[in-house]
Amino acid sequence: MWPAAETLFSALQQQGERPALSEGERCLSYRQLLDAVDQRSQLLQHLGARRVALALDNGIDWLLWDLATLRAGLVCVPVPGFFSEAQQRHVLDSAGVDCLIGAPSPRLQALGFAESHSGLLQRPQPQAAELPSGTCKITYTSGTTGQPKGVCLDAATQLQVALSLVRASASCAVERHLCVLPLATLLENIAGVYAPLLAGARIDLLALAEVGLQGASGFDLARFLGALNRLQPHSLILLPQLLLALVSAAERGLPLPRSLRFIAVGGGRVAPQLLQRADALGLPVFEGYGLSECASVVCLNTPENRRIGTVGAPLEHLEVRLAEDGEVLVKGPRMLGYLGEPAPAGDWLGTGDLGHFDGLFLVLHGRKKHQFITAYGRNVNPEWVEAELVQQLPIAQAWLHGEALPANVAVLVPRFAETGDEELAEAVERVNRQLPDYARVHHWLRAEQPFSAANDLATANGRLRRGALLQHYQTAIGKLLADESCYGDAR
């Protein structure tokens, strides 16, 4: 067992026969959970597994195997189902995976995997990069360019974040959590599994399709609301677009469970307007911020300390400060390093995010590398403007470009096929009224198609591929701005 994991397993033992996991008709108490984890741990050790990939849908088995690797002192490598086939192959090979838990397939057979036990595939230990000492999990960030990058984490860092989250949300008395996001994402793994287990809560686990998630970007609102009303969870973790769907549904009068006590939202910029709409509905929404390099959550709003428009105050186990250029720096438990790269130097980790403090609360501006400078020398964080645009009902996706240009241009994806240009123009105007002149959308184009992983204009989890978007739309933007009259309203 990884030494730091003893705290977790000791906490689980104290819960006895309390309900721990639920998946439809299948339920496990904490005692049964521990027995199942022991059996899986012993099997992995018997098979001589070293680096274990989890390629399963959300469910009890995913969680049990994850805990089994922790108990057996092995390296766990979650494989996101929303990764492309090429990305998944990169994960398996770069991490040196020798054991995979998932369904056999010709593709895996071609990579050398053969079934050694029901649901377990093995191959000879491949040539792989040496891991930093103490690595027990390699989580891959999808990124916006290139192949996913492996972040090496130890058990102590993951559990420290989970413990801080338990303390931060203690007043909500969460006793039942529903996993909505893929368990292969670190946010749900840490905040939706380890934290509830440390708190002695019950975790509801359903296949992703049963909570409405379909592939990388599809979402079935009716299934999502059905799961919420059937299971009556106390807590959820949502991405901004899922929160938008929840709020919009409530505003239309669709029923929501009254059980909700803590809805955490993160993974992207959340427009303050959306949080205000949630507030008006009485939804207990708390925005947070984090990154895989710090084992997910860094800052979080809580019932005791909350300010809309901020991502909250730093969790108790770390410190946050700003560099001279406004970059957010973090000191405290963090990754051991990127797979195949030297360990990071220095006490303070640069996040690549820009921000400022409003008292104790951190306000984010956007990614440092995404910021552009207009022809008039004004710095603009496009994520801020894009988040405001997608709050408008007619707009599903938005990309803003203005690097070295006298006018900012947005490419807009309509939410509905029947949405007309006039509706888009009115939505842009509503947003512009709230923005300073230099950040406004001076001109816009209707997108040829939605931004997706299929056309390489977005990552599998929805982040914009800005370089690809520029390459794709550069000619159209140039034609739009070719007429000097287009520049008349630029600032």
Amino acid identity, position 374:
T
Position 460 confidence tier, pLDDT thresholds 50, 70, 90 = confident
**Does residue 141 have a pLDDT over 90?**
no
Position 379 confidence tier, pLDDT thresholds 50, 70, 90 = confident
Q: List, for residues 180-193, the tens digit of each pLDDT value.
A: 999 999 999 999 99
Alpha-carbon 343 to chain mean position = 24
pLDDT value at residue 301: 98
Sequence-ordered list of residues with C-beta below 8 angstroms from that of 436, at least 6 positions apart, any chain = none
Average pLDDT for 394-409: 92
Cα–Cα distance, 291 to 161 (Å, whole number): 12
Which has more confidence, 479 or 330?
A: 330
Distances (CA, A) of 379 to 238, 369, 404, 439: 30, 12, 10, 9
Position 446 confidence tier, pLDDT thresholds 50, 70, 90 = very high
Say if residues 462 and 216 touch (Cβ distance below 8 Å). Answer: yes
Sequence-ordered list of residues with C-beta below 8 angstroms from that of 163, at least 6 positions apart, any chain = 195, 198, 317
Position 216 confidence tier, pLDDT thresholds 50, 70, 90 = low
**Does residue 397 have a pLDDT over 60?**
yes
On average, the pLDDT of the chain sits at: 92
Position 215 confidence tier, pLDDT thresholds 50, 70, 90 = low
Say if residues 35 and 68 touch (Cβ distance below 8 Å). Answer: no
Say if residues 402 and 370 touch (Cβ distance below 8 Å). Answer: no
Average pLDDT for 45-67: 97
Domains of the chain, first to last: 3-363 (3.40.50.12780), 371-485 (3.30.300.30)
Cα–Cα distance, 71 to 67 (Å, whole number): 6
pLDDT value at residue 484: 46
pLDDT value at residue 490: 38
Whole-structure pTM over 0.85, yes or no? no
Q: List, for residues 340-369, the tens digit of each pLDDT value.
A: 898 888 999 999 999 999 999 999 988 888
pLDDT value at residue 146: 60
Q: List, for residues 64-74, the tens digit of each pLDDT value.
A: 999 999 999 99
Cα–Cα distance, 239 to 82 (Å, whole number): 15
pLDDT value at residue 486: 45
Sequence-ordered list of residues with C-beta below 8 angstroms from that of 109, at least 6 positions apart, any chain = none
pLDDT value at residue 483: 62
Q: List, for residues 81-103, the tens digit of each pLDDT value.
A: 888 788 899 999 999 999 999 99
Average pLDDT for 430-459: 91
Two tokens, residue 340? 């195949």
For 343, counting Cβ atoms within 10 Å of its Cβ (0-12 exposed, 13-18 middle, 19+ buried), the class is: exposed
Sequence-ordered list of residues with C-beta below 8 angstroms from that of 62, at least 6 positions apart, any chain = 54, 56, 183, 205
Q: What are phi and psi for residue 198, nearest 5 degrees? A: -60, -30
Q: List, for residues 234-289, the tens digit of each pLDDT value.
A: 999 998 889 989 999 999 999 999 999 999 998 877 888 899 999 999 999 999 99
